[in-house]
Amino acid sequence: MAETHSLQDLRQAAVTSKVFVQRDYTSGTICKFQTKFPAELESRMDKQQFEETIQTLNNLYAEAEKLGGRSYLEGCLACLTAYTIFLCMETHYEKVLKKIAKYIQEQNEKIYAPLGLLLTDPIERGLRVVEITIFEDRSIGSR
């Protein structure tokens, strides 16, 4: 597959630098990342694509932290069972985190690896930043 081929190619490449997309706290303490396009990526990728990725991530995190009927139900049920219910089932948040991990993997395979970039799942950085590793450009992929 073309995608995994370029992903393996990255193994040979050297890390040039890392860009950190910080959290956006303007809506409070919910998990949200800034959609501002970092200057270091200007030569590598499309602004639109980047914003779309970050926006999708933000939407997924919003879904995880959403207050609504479902989360209240889960909370009450958990309280009634003295939180032992989480021994058998995952919390809603954890389910969404898995979705996010899959999304990031997909984005890396399809879009970022061919451009010589790599997204790190924010959960590995304590939900503080989206770390984007920039690899040396050795004409990987279509660029």
Partner 1 sequence: MTGNMHLGVEEPIRECQYNQICTHNSSTMDTPHTKKKKIKRKWQVFPGRNKFYCNGRIMMAKQTGVFYLTVVLILVTSGLFFAFDCPFLASNLTPAIPAIGGVLFIFVMGMLLRASFSDPGVLPRATPEEAADIERQIDTANGPSGPGYRPPPRTREVLINGQTVKLKYCFTCKIFRPPRASHCSLCDNCVERFDHHCPWVGNCVGRRNYRFFYLFILSLSLLTIFIFAFVITHVILRSNRTGFLSALKDSPASVLEVVVCFFSIWSIVGLSGFHTYLISSNQTTNEDIKGSWSSKRGKGNYNPYSYGNLITNCCAALCGPLPPSLIDRRGFVQPDTPQPVAQTNGTGACPSNQVQSHMT
Please say which residue, 56 or 75, places its beta carbon nearer to partner 1.
75
Contacts of partner 1 in 117-136 (CB under 8 A): 118, 120-121, 123-129, 131
Neighbours of 87 (CB within 10 A): 7
Q: Specify the stretch interacting with partner 1 by CB under 8 A; choose among 4-12, 42-50, 52-60.
A: 4-12
Please select the residue that binds partner 1; options are 33, 45, 54, 108, rule is CB under 8 A.
108
> Contact between 105 and partner 1 (CB under 8 A)?
yes
Please say which residue, 43 or 48, places its beta carbon nearer to partner 1.
43
Please select the residue that binds partner 1; options are 2, 51, 72, 89, rule is CB under 8 A.
72
Backbone φ, ψ for residue 81 (5° rounding): -95, 15
Q: In Å, how far are 30, 96, 105 from 8, measured between CA atoms?
A: 35, 28, 14
User: Residue numbers of the site for partner 1 (CB under 8 A)?
Assistant: 4, 7-8, 10-16, 18, 20, 22-23, 25-29, 64-67, 71-72, 74-76, 78-79, 82-83, 91-94, 97-98, 101-102, 104-105, 108-109, 118, 120-121, 123-129, 131
